[in-house]
A and B are shown apart, each in its own frame.
Chain A
């Protein structure tokens, strides 16, 4: 087996993208920059969904960790007077990992629809609490005031630039870490989990703790996305924990594919573009559009690809002549071994 070099194509692409976005930020109109920030935030959360999905687990609870990450920003500001961006990201991530460590003890025993519905139930309970709790500002949510970075506080236009650069580099860093995880032993084990869990068990790997570990990691990604979203939008509200938020993350993975961490990035950008188009043409039918797209992807893309990204990848491969028309992606359809 050929050993992959440590710096592979994906890492190079990520670094190049981060540099490009940093340099190109000045040439973008404000709304495109904002859109980039939002897309990066949802990308991180969606990468978390993707990691679980590669292990065959569909989470409907990623919104919970997005919520925790997002709320850590205004809560730290309000109650501890801490407004440092990096510190908020770290604290938010830690908080999410702590919650996932408790929830994971329970959910990591489950697979399939049980896993989906239990994660959904947990995040809906938190949503129910957040809507009523004054700590979280009720259904109005909380505002994020200025932010600082290593001791220097910013406001106005300067603040926008700082959050933009932070978003780009934090997202790039987290995606690189996620990529390394997918490449690691744990990542491969998680993939094997989707193929055949019992065999994995017999080989001496604990499926439960594998699921537990990747759940924690997925939660940390969700929280990092949440902090970026809070910093970009400067406002957080309980709908972050609502199941449709989690549904959008799943949709992003469906759009972008789960072949690499770059897939969700493509999906997230597509989703934001869709949102803009939809809000100008049919503002009240966003959910319907989302549902219809989802259904079309699930029903009509070939089994196994189950994403525009996977489909495009296979198509490009065929056009380039690099192999026969083959859809090897995750979830090869008629896998009935388990």
Chain B
């Protein structure tokens, strides 16, 4: 019973994190049809920006909440800048070309940004653990959990809800959906497709930096944290189907619970349980659970 409880709580917190790192990737793919490897770099930039924000707040002797807000603000600001620059300078030239080439371009951007973080913040680890430590622990059943990790679930839910609201309840969201469905027809209907694409990419980049900023208090921020994230995020969103938001939620839950179960019951497979889950799902549904079927064109 104890293990079951632990599996559920661990699984849900891990799923929340997975959703946060995956949702930006899947949103961008849905609209731009580009798998953005640089998402991992956005994540690490967000984490570093959060460390910067927390550090700045601490030096200005702000309250912990204000420090945290500063961290999030810094991460979002850097997300807007990075997203805009990358989309306008790089991706916009590649829409007409092969998707593999665009993938390679985002990989190149990843490499560049990764070294940028080293130049800006040095090779050693930085920390932003103030807010998380201050929140302390909370009992869930017989187990103690860091309150921050539990709040992260709420943050992930809130993020998901916000995306859902914008996509399905606002006019902007309808435009985005139209672009996802068919670029050419939406452009014929008077939607400014390029603008929608730029905006989506900026939002996607912000989701990446936000995920980094929210994770920052939990980890030692060092060069290379983005690599694992991009591979994991891909595994998660591909389970649900690339481009599908609800798919990202389902994928995150499957992987989160799966990994928590493996950690507690069968620690040997923990390392690759994510990929096992991915392989299992893809064997049954080659394009993921919620992927839109595509017609064969000759």
Contacts and interface: CB of A to CB of B under 8 A. Distances in A.
Contact of A125 (B111, B227, B271, B297): B271
Interface of B: 35, 90, 93-94, 96-101, 103-105, 107-112, 114-116, 118-119, 123, 227, 231, 234-235, 238, 271-272, 275, 278-279, 282-283, 286-287, 296-298
A120 interface: yes
B116 A129 contact: no
A287 B111 contact: yes
Contacts of A312: none
B272 A125 contact: yes
Contacts of A202: 298
B130 to A, nearest CB: 29
B101 A295 contact: no
Interface string A290-319: 111011001100010010000000000000
A250 B100 CA distance: 11
A291 B99 contact: no
B111 A290 contact: yes
Contacts of B238: 114, 117
Nearest to A124: B231
A183 interface: no
A333 B96 CA distance: 7
Nearest to B234: A117
Contact of A247 (B99, B107, B112, B297): B107
A298 B96 contact: no
Nearest to A112: B99
B108 A298 contact: yes
Interface of A: 56-58, 60, 106, 109-110, 112-114, 116-118, 120-122, 124-125, 128-129, 132, 196, 198-199, 202, 243-244, 247, 250, 254, 284-288, 290-292, 294-295, 298-299, 303, 306, 331, 333-334, 338
Contact of B104 (A58, A109, A117, A129): A58
A124 B37 CA distance: 14
B230 to A, nearest CB: 9
Given A117-B234, A285-B115, A331 B105 contact: no
B235 A121 contact: yes
A247 B111 contact: yes
Contacts of B279: 106
B103 A287 contact: no
A294 B271 contact: no
| 4 nearest CB pairs, A to B | A291-B111, A288-B115, A294-B108, A291-B112
Given A128-B272, A198-B296, A243-B227, A295 B112 contact: yes
A291 B109 contact: yes
Contacts of A198: 296-298
Contacts of A113: 35, 99-100, 103
A174 to B, nearest CB: 25
Contact of B101 (A109, A114, A291, A331): A331
A306 B101 contact: yes
B115 to A, nearest CB: 4
A287 B35 contact: no
Given A113-B100, A120-B234, A285-B115, 5 more contacts: A132-B271, A291-B111, A295-B112, A298-B108, A331-B97
A292 B109 CA distance: 8
B110 A291 contact: yes
Contact of A288 (B96, B111, B297): B111
Contact of A121 (B111, B115, B234, B298): B234
18 contacts: A56-B100, A106-B283, A118-B282, A121-B234, A128-B271, A128-B272, A196-B298, A198-B297, A247-B111, A284-B119, A288-B112, A295-B108, A295-B112, A298-B94, A298-B104, A299-B90, A306-B101, A331-B97
Contacts of A243: 227, 231
Nearest to A333: B97
A121 B278 contact: yes
Contact of A294 (B104, B272, B282): B104
Given A110-B286, A113-B103, A298-B108, A121 B90 contact: no
